[in-house]
Structure 1
Amino acid sequence: MDGDRPSKILIVDDHSENRKLLASIITKHTDHQIVTASGGKAVLEHIEDERPDIILLDIMMPEMDGFQLAKILKAKEKTRDIPIIFITALDSEEDKVKAFEYGGIDYIIKPFNHREVLSRVNAHLVAKRHLEQITEFNETIRYELSISRQIQKNFISLKELHDGGLSVYTRYIPKEEISGDIYDVIKVGDGKFLCFIADITGHGIPAALYTMMLKSSLEKQIRNPEVPLSPSGVLLELNKELCETLIPGFFITAFLMIVDLNTMRCVYANAAHPAPLFYRASTGEFVTLPVRSTILGVKKSLEIAEESISLEQTDKILLYTDGITEMTGDDSRILGENSLREIFASNSAASGNELLDKMMGDILAHSADKTWDDDVTLMEIEFSPKE
């Protein structure tokens, strides 16, 4: 164990000769600190103050045997992670199995070989330290992910928007701490709004980093006077930049539309993103907006088509990511666009947050385990003419 910090080893045995023998074996070859106890009662009185790195535990002891002590220690939050090596004269298969069932990590039979005891103790101490390092690393990652989630949450801050005749409501649920979905609504003129939703391959840290890059790039393209302020113009410029920055294996789907409340018209373009659903309030008709081009970030040379649709008061458009339509049900079937349209239609009498709450409940009811399989974003947009 050269180079390792000394460990604290607790030896529990009702015979002082056995305690002394084990202590001498360990201290002769290591710098480990030895603590001894003659029984379970003494251990329970002091173990939280004298927390050992490992316990060498006899089984046959008066008042409280080793199995009983192990059961108590494994039931306590502060002691359940302390490794226990049983050292005993009991050699039956039943006792060995029982020892492991009560939380032991090893079983040494008396009389024992000195080198074997030392090797087993050292091996388990090394394993414990590796586990502690992994646990510490995981705690650091969890903390950093929680901070990253808050940063991304602030970055993707739109929950609800009311501006002139435009009302926007959103639901955003990352599968992990951070997400590969991104959305935004940006005012680009008097009564004109750019609405954007995108999904980066996968989820987790890489996808989340790309969402922040994509949002910054989007804002840059909108401010650039040389970039046509049109859905296809903005998406084409985004694609050029993404082709330079995305690593192989990553790509982005996106839908972008520009709403003009002065003319009550919407122009849109779709780069391989799930087709939004449009509800015409005056007729009760539900249609998709399916004009699709290819994904972004793979080919520099693209053609992105545009389409337009007229808007009427109380019309609704539903934008979403594929975490919605690809949710798997009890029968292993995905929800799909048709079922989403039915859910949208069945709740269309509601609006805003009430509509989204009802839809999210119906969508989640489809899930086999009632959890989200992927990052989920839902954005509902309602219109009325600019006054």
Structure 2
Amino acid sequence: MTAAGSIPDPAELKAARVLVVDDNRINRHLLTALLERGGVGHLETAGDGNEALDLLDTFRPDLILLDLMMPHLDGFDMCRRLRAMPAWQDLPVLVQSSLNRAEDRARAFAAGATDYVAKPINAVELLSRVRIHLQNRALLADLRLFRQRTERELALARQMQERLMPSPERLAGTAAAGVRIDAHFAPSSELGGDCWDLHRDGRGRLIVHLVDFSGHGVGAALNTFRLHAITQRMDFTEYDPAAFLAAINRRLCPLLPAGQFATMLSGVVDTAENRFVYASAGSTRPLVWGPGGAAPEAGDGSGLPLGLVDGIDYQTRTLPLPPGGRLFLYSDAALEIPIAGGGVLDEDGLLGLVDACGRDDPDGAAFLDRLRLALADSGPIDDDLTALLVTRMAGA
């Protein structure tokens, strides 16, 4: 591919397909001869707009050189019909006409013409414009292919990122620990840095952690893969939340580029002590509430994010979690939704939605679905949204 503004490569012109549409046979011959001498390799002609439209699917032109004044279907109407076809909306149409008034040019452009040259034709000008439009079309085709390939690769990366999350089979297996987990994960339009996972300690207790890396795109997504690889190599037999975060921080500090970090909450559901024992590295505040309509209690999410400073100690904290109680963990996308009137949803707004969506509904998945819709109704969600509802099973 040649650089913008330069003469196209002869091989590109040789591969180009130009459709000449003119009711005058002599003009068609003159134009095709000119284009052939200019290096265009594939030429076809049509005597009016109807004939030209019939040739589109078989000849598949890269450019149309169009006369405006023709019988049956003139150039104006042909342009309008062409632009109504999704497959040909961006096809270059170079009009050549003896109509030289500003009103005629404006009418041609309104109908869908790309460019306009006046008769009598100047051969050098015509060839230059043909080359420019063919080059632009080739560039646009390359960009379209690049975008399609990028979108496919991003979709694959999103699928891989989603596979880092616990599968439905793993979620079903949490019942053995006396816990049910309902989860919602919705990646943003681009790759992001949310992830969460489950583990068991040596006593069979359920460990849950939620992570949110700074930034978006490929870099943030790669960091989630890094963290997943780190946690898979760790020993959870003698799990301690604060020591776990300190160990993760030690491993992340040399891996993350300057300015990148992660917030994380990691904790264990202790059914024997009816509590959730956790540590936080700058995460959102966990919410717990007991059965029977008890008001939610917010935990402490403070702590230095991971990956910034090596050698940091973290604090172990506890929240009550009796049988029938619930623990709600969420990413900061739920708090940073812009709302009408300015500002963001923040914690008070989220608590209001949690109450309004029926936080005591026995069907945790239905509660999360209602909450997801309520968050979307509050404003645009521009980040990955993760929400986990951990329910202590009655009698467990």
- TM-score, with normalisation over the residues of structure 2? 0.91
1:212-231 residue pairs with structure 2 within 5 A? 212-222=225-235, 229-231=239-241
Show the counterpart of 1:256.
Answer: 266
Q: Is the 8 A contact 1:191 1:262 kept in 2?
A: no
User: Tell me, what secondary structure is at the counterpart of 1:285?
Assistant: coil
Counterpart CA distance in 1 for 2:109 and 2:244 is 63
What is the aligned partner in structure 2 of residue 43 from structure 1?
Answer: 52
Structure 1 residues 359, 283: CA separation in 2 closer, same or farther (over 3 Å shift)? Answer: closer
Measure, in 2, the Cα distance between the counterparts of 1:103 and 1:95. 13
Q: Secondary structure at the match of 2:371?
A: helix
Match of 1:210 in 2: 223
Q: Does 1:374 align with 2:387?
A: no
1:385 Cα deviation from its structure 2 partner = 6.9
* Equivalent residues in 2 for 1:274-293, closer than 5 Å: 274-281=284-291, 284-293=294-303
Q: Is the 8 A contact 1:222 1:234 kept in 2?
A: no
1:350 alignment partner in structure 2: 361
Give the structure 1 partner of residue 162 of structure 2: 153
1:44-123 map, 5 Å: 44-123=53-132
For residues 155-203 of structure 1, what are the alpha-carbon distances to aligned partners after superposition, in whole Å with 9 as ceiling and x for unaligned? 2244544423111111111112533210112122344111100111122
- After TM superposition, list the pairs within 5 Å mapping 1:171-190 onto structure 2: 171-176=184-189, 178-190=191-203
Is the CA contact 1:180–1:210 (under 8 Å) kept in the aligned structure 2?
Answer: yes
- Cα distance in 1 for partners of 2:301, 2:140 equals 52
Deviates more, 1:343-352 or 1:33-42: 343-352
Report the CA distance shift for 1:314/1:38 in structure 2 as closer, same or farther (over 3 A): same
Q: Give the Å deviation of 1:52.
A: 0.7
* Deviation string, structure 1 residues 51-74 (Cα, Å, up to 9, x no partner): 111001111111111011111111
* Counterpart contact for 2:264–2:281, Cα < 8 Å: yes
Distance across 2 between alignment mates of 1:191 and 1:220: 18
Aligned partner of 1:103: which letter? Answer: G
Does the 8 Å contact 1:13/1:38 carry over to 2?
yes
The one-letter code of the counterpart of 1:4 is A
Please say if 1:365 is aligned against 2:377. Answer: yes
Shift in CA distance, 194/154, structure 1 to aligned 2, threshold 3 Å: same
What is the aligned counterpart of 1:2 among 6, 9, 17? 9
Stretch moving more, 278-287 or 91-100: 278-287
Q: 1:73 to 1:330 in 2, by over 3 A?
A: same
User: TM-score, with normalisation over the residues of structure 1?
Assistant: 0.93
Shift of 1:291: 4.2
> Judging changes above 3 Å, is the alpha-carbon distance between structure 1 residues 373 and 332 closer, same or farther for their aligned structure 2 residues?
farther
- The amino acid across from 1:2 in the alignment is D
Question: 1:6-55: CA deviations, max 9, x gaps?
Answer: 20111101112222222222211314322111111211222101111100
1:2 and 1:128 map into 2 onto residues whose CA distance is 14
**Equivalents in 2 of 1:3, 1:11: separation in Å?**
20
Give distance in 1, aligned partners of 2:283 and 2:189: 21
What residue in structure 2 maps to residue 322 of structure 1?
332
SS in 2 for 1:372: coil
Please give the alpha-carbon distance, in whole angstroms, between the structure 2 residues aligned to 1:39 and 1:157.
63
Aligned residue number for residue 30 of structure 2: 21
Write out per-residue CA displacement over residues 85-134 of structure 1, whole angstroms, 9 at most, x where no aligned residue.
11111112222122222222111111132111111110111111011001
Q: Alpha carbons of 1:88 and 1:31: their partners in 2 closer, same or farther (altered >3 Å)?
A: closer
DSSP 3-state at the match of 1:221? coil
CA, structure 1 residues 31+355, in 2 after alignment: closer, same or farther (shift >3 Å)? closer
1:323 deviates by 0.8
Residues 147, 85 of structure 1: alpha-carbon distance in 2 compared, 3 angstrom cutoff: same
2:231 maps to a residue whose letter is: L
Identity, % of aligned positions: 28
Runs of 4+ residues deviating >6 angstroms: none
Q: Offset of 1:248 from its aligned partner?
A: 2.1
CA distance in 1, matches of 2:305, 2:209: 15
Which whole-Å CA distance do the structure 1 matches of 2:343 and 2:189 have between them?
Answer: 23
Q: Distance in 2 between matches of 1:280 and 1:115?
A: 82
Query: 1:203·1:375 contact (CA, 8 Å) conserved in 2?
Result: no
Aligned to 2:4: none
C-alpha contact 2:49 2:73 (8 A) present in aligned 1:
yes
1:191–1:261 Cα contact (<8 Å) kept? no
More divergent stretch after superposition (261-270 vs 194-203): 261-270
Secondary structure, aligned partner of 1:150: helix
Please state if 1:195 is matched with 2:205. no
Tell me how far apart the structure 1 counterparts of residues 235 and 194 of structure 2 sit (CA, whole Å): 20
Mapped contact 2:293–2:360 kept (Cα < 8 A) = no
State the distance in 1 between where 2:196 and 2:322 align.
24
Find the partner of 2:175 among 152, 163, 180: 163
- Counterpart CA distance in 2 for 1:130 and 1:192 is 58
SS in 2 for 1:52: coil
8 Å CA contact 1:180, 1:211 repeated in 2: yes
In structure 2, runs of 5+ residues without a counterpart are 1-7
Q: 2:244 aligns with which of 231, 234, 243?
A: 234
Whether the 8 Å contact between 1:286 and 1:345 is mirrored in structure 2 is no
Unaligned runs of 5+ in 1: none
Secondary structure of 2:226's counterpart equals: helix
